Structure 1
Amino acid sequence: MVDIIENIIKKDGVTVYVVYPTRKETAINYLEKLGVKTIYLPFYKLNKNGRKGMWKYIIKKIMSPFLFFKLRQIVKREKISIIYSNTIVIDYGFILSKMTKLPHIWHIREFGKEDHGIVLRGGEKALYRKFLKIYNRIIYKLIYGNGTPTYSRLSSWLKVKTIHENLEKYDVIFIPGQIDLVAGLKTKTPIIYYGDGTVPLMVDYYWFNFTKRAINEAKELELKAARNASINIYASNWARNSGIKEYKIHSSKAKVIPFGANLSYADTDNISNIDKNDRINIIFSGVDWKRKGGELAVNACEKLVEDGYDVRLTIVGIKDLDYRVKGLDFIDYLGFLDKEDETQYLKYLDAWRKADILLLPTRAECAGIVFNEASAFGVPSLSVDTGGVADYVKNNINGYRMPLSANGEDFALKIEEWIKEDKLSTLSKGAKKIYKSRNNWRTWGISFNKLLEDSNIFKK
């Protein structure tokens, strides 16, 4: 930046101001000797890392609005014409330019090779990753308000720019989930997209309080992706039907291949059996207590206890469980278990081996890999008829889907019905059959290969 200033300040009628957040160093002294007007804003302590880094971050966030007002005062007082900022403070420069309606020059230091003959680690990919972080954090909200940055055309453009592969050398490109990447890729190689929902399904289901502008942008991007993909695979018929309806995808290009279970195939050889006089071991597995219907599960178990059943509810996946729930006599709280950690993974497997019923009164669910994990151990699933659950929980085969209006007592009565009518053993065997024949990753691979063989996407 110094050499740029050296050239600019030589021009007649140009005055350069530098606002800096750190103590005076050699560069600042040198600039002042050149005739540069320097302005010091004492934020240097907040830019240093240390054990109090989080507090510094919080203080910086609180003070940032005051910094912007101070900068705007400086711009007006000194009659600044152009704002120029380098990589670290590009976000500040962008916001200031919006506040003052002045042009903004972004100096990205990853252009070191072109500017100064210096090759910096990360190169152009690092440049676009930096842009992407700034965009996701700040720019998207300024343009679209509340929404999801991934579902936007600029995010698509930035993400594609991080790819420096020759895509033409591949036979097929498989992209799970990254809708912005699917929309932005320009290649003759067939693209196969794999997702579990669509934008229209997510609005007011998973996504709440999104602005109309953000929703429209998300739909526009998803439409572009649907057209760019040779085949759109969905994890449920619920999602597939929406894709066909909303984006006019031809049925031959919209397929369903359900998720598998995120467990080792060798670890799932178990059939659950229960006698109505034994303890009922119920498992609840999920990371979002409210969305997964945690309170309903507790209420159902309380009803079972009141009716004289010996119940144990094992809760897995919730990081911070309410103390009231933890304190209940029938609760076994295991917390969040990381499957990448061998000890925690074995603990998770043990919970499934002891389980007789998966109780998941979910309020919203695109698919639910947990249902396949239950089926892998022969554990019947009691859930809700919502979203894509129907492709994972088949009524009276491996479980049952209750109406969304069902309360805790309704779930309890269904479990009592299973026990009294001796249905659990049959449901357990049905669960294992569904897992082995359909909802596992081996079968997923076979289905995917067959899809490739049957399609004509490789024909030029």
Structure 2
Amino acid sequence: MKVGFAGRWNPLDKTAWSGTYFHSYNAIKKHYPVETFYYKWPWHVRESLILHKQFQKLIHKKAAVEFLTGYAKYFSKQLEKEILKRKVDVLFVPSAPQLIAYCKTSIPVIYMTDATFFQLQGYYPLFKDIAPYNINQGLKMDKLTFENAAHCMVASEWTKQSAINDYKISTTKLTVAPLGANLDKIPALNEINTSKNNICQLLFLGVEWERKGGQIALDTFYKLKEAGLPVQLTIIGCVPPVRCDDKDITVIPFINKHNSEEAVKLYNIICNSNFLLLPTRAECAGVVFCEASAFGVPSITTNTGGVSTYVEDGVNGFALPVNATANEYAQKIQSLFVNENTYNQLCLSSRKKYEDELNWDSWGKAFSIIAEQILNK
């Protein structure tokens, strides 16, 4: 069996879709030969999209140009032509509904996504105030993609339920397949640090301060200090828009995982962390939870979006209600940290959650089962 990998980005780019393209590509390659179909925007498409976005700004609306019918028809047609030249048995399309919504082919398609377009409306900041006609076109295109696919691998139960309820997709066409960690090096089981020193090490890892709940994380840190718990907070990925001049706060605006020296730095920081603290406001999946679990680091986060597929209460952390306060986050962290046996068991079960579910080998096996079933129908 030969698999076609069709996407909007280069699958060899480790940064594309938070590493998901790179890791899913390599997970498939462990089972089958892979032919890539990778489409950049040609200049005339790029220029027209820029003009469209500028027009939308004039009427004070956002544009999700990749969810416009014209955009989708253009790229669907490009893929349609290309698969006639390079034969594959199964086509895998990750997070690129534009490629298959209007593509006419007899090749079975496995589509992968971490959200439906329906779910994103008003949920992610990027998808707030989209022009109504753009939303209508996007919903139609996204629904067509789910309908045209032979099977859909969705990254969470949250997305599965949206496909069923909002697009009327049969549950038999849907498989929840969690994503894995976007890291080149994972510690061995015997390297997992379940012991803790006297200082509670918190890690906030995220690029978008507001969406990831940065202010709640910061307030949680101060609540823990007020409660008398020795605590330190490391913020990686952004510069907080508020003052963080406490001596126990370290801010690292950016770490390049794909630079060997910086990757080692990140590796050591995660190894020495006691909790990943991410009170996220909106999250489709959360590769960062896979990464924390790989290190045996429990995640303290929010039960929103697809998070519950990645963080299971009492197993690899806790997902608090969306309206939980910093005081509630602080109480949860302190209650776990001061109970050494409970904390140690949580670290070990976090790693087990990674080994059993939150890794790319498990995802690759799920893909293989689906591909074989499709071809044997």
Inter-CA distance 322–274: structure 2 relative to 1 (3 Å threshold): farther
| Residue 68 of structure 2 corresponds to residue 159 of structure 1 | no
Measured in 1, the distance between the counterparts of 2:187 and 2:258 equals 15
Shift of residue 379, structure 1, vs aligned partner: 0.2
| Residue 49 of structure 2 corresponds to residue 131 of structure 1 | no
| Residue 151 of structure 2 corresponds to residue 231 of structure 1 | yes
Q: Which one of 257, 260, 271 corresponds to residue 339 of structure 1?
A: 257
- Give the aligned partner of residue 436 of structure 1: 355
Count of residues in correspondence between the two structures: 330
- Give the aligned partner of residue 69 of structure 1: none
* Structure 1 runs not aligned, ≥5 long: 1-124
Q: Which one of 214, 218, 243 corresponds to residue 294 of structure 1?
A: 214
Amino acid at match of 2:308: A
Shift of residue 343, structure 1, vs aligned partner: 1.4
Amino acid at match of 1:152: L
Shift of residue 419, structure 1, vs aligned partner: 2.1
Amino acid at match of 1:166: I
Contact (CA 8 Å) 1:381, 1:399: kept in 2 or not? Answer: yes
Contact (CA 8 Å) 1:297, 1:361: kept in 2 or not? Answer: yes
SS at match of 1:166: helix
- Give the aligned partner of residue 322 of structure 1: 241
Contact (CA 8 Å) 1:271, 1:377: kept in 2 or not? Answer: yes
- Give the aligned partner of residue 150 of structure 1: 66
TM-score (norm 2): 0.83
- Give the aligned partner of residue 278 of structure 1: 198
- Give the aligned partner of residue 140 of structure 2: 220
Q: Which one of 354, 367, 371 corresponds to residue 285 of structure 2?
A: 367
Contact (CA 8 Å) 1:141, 1:147: kept in 2 or not? Answer: no
Larger Rg: 1
Deviations 1:417-445 (A, max 9, x none): 11233321111011000001110011111
Deviations 1:113-140 (A, max 9, x none): xxxxxxxxxxxx99x7123202321236
Measured in 2, the distance between the counterparts of 1:153 and 1:282 equals 45
Shift of residue 268, structure 1, vs aligned partner: 5.5
TM-score (norm 1): 0.68
Measured in 2, the distance between the counterparts of 1:274 and 1:284 equals 20
Measured in 1, the distance between the counterparts of 2:325 and 2:186 equals 37
SS at match of 1:375: helix
CA RMSD of aligned residues (A): 2.0
Q: How does 1:250-265 map to 2 (within 5 A)?
A: 250-265=170-185
Contact (CA 8 Å) 2:77, 2:102: kept in 1 or not? Answer: no
Shift of residue 338, structure 1, vs aligned partner: 1.1
Contact (CA 8 Å) 1:230, 1:457: kept in 2 or not? Answer: no
Contact (CA 8 Å) 2:49, 2:65: kept in 1 or not? Answer: yes
Inter-CA distance 278–147: structure 2 relative to 1 (3 Å threshold): same
- Give the aligned partner of residue 401 of structure 1: 319
Q: How does 1:34-433 map to 2 (within 5 A)?
A: 129-139=42-52, 142=55, 146-163=62-79, 164-167=81-84, 169-206=87-124, 207-267=127-187, 269=189, 270-275=191-196, 278-318=198-238, 320-322=239-241, 324-325=243-244, 327-422=245-340, 423-433=342-352
Contact (CA 8 Å) 1:129, 1:162: kept in 2 or not? Answer: no
SS at match of 1:405: coil
Instruction: Work out which structure has the larger RCO, using CA pairs closer than 8 Å and 6 or more positions apart in sequence.
Output: 2
Amino acid at match of 1:130: W
Shift of residue 317, structure 1, vs aligned partner: 1.1
Amino acid at match of 2:150: S
Contact (CA 8 Å) 2:236, 2:253: kept in 1 or not? Answer: yes
User: Quick check: 358-367 or 156-165, which moved more?
Assistant: 156-165
Shift of residue 458, structure 1, vs aligned partner: 5.1
Contact (CA 8 Å) 1:131, 1:158: kept in 2 or not? Answer: no
Inter-CA distance 294–186: structure 2 relative to 1 (3 Å threshold): same
Measured in 2, the distance between the counterparts of 1:330 and 1:393 equals 27
Contact (CA 8 Å) 1:274, 1:356: kept in 2 or not? Answer: no
Measured in 2, the distance between the counterparts of 1:243 and 1:445 equals 22
- Give the aligned partner of residue 6 of structure 1: none
SS at match of 1:283: strand
Q: Aligned residues: percent identity?
A: 33
Shift of residue 274, structure 1, vs aligned partner: 3.9
SS at match of 2:100: helix
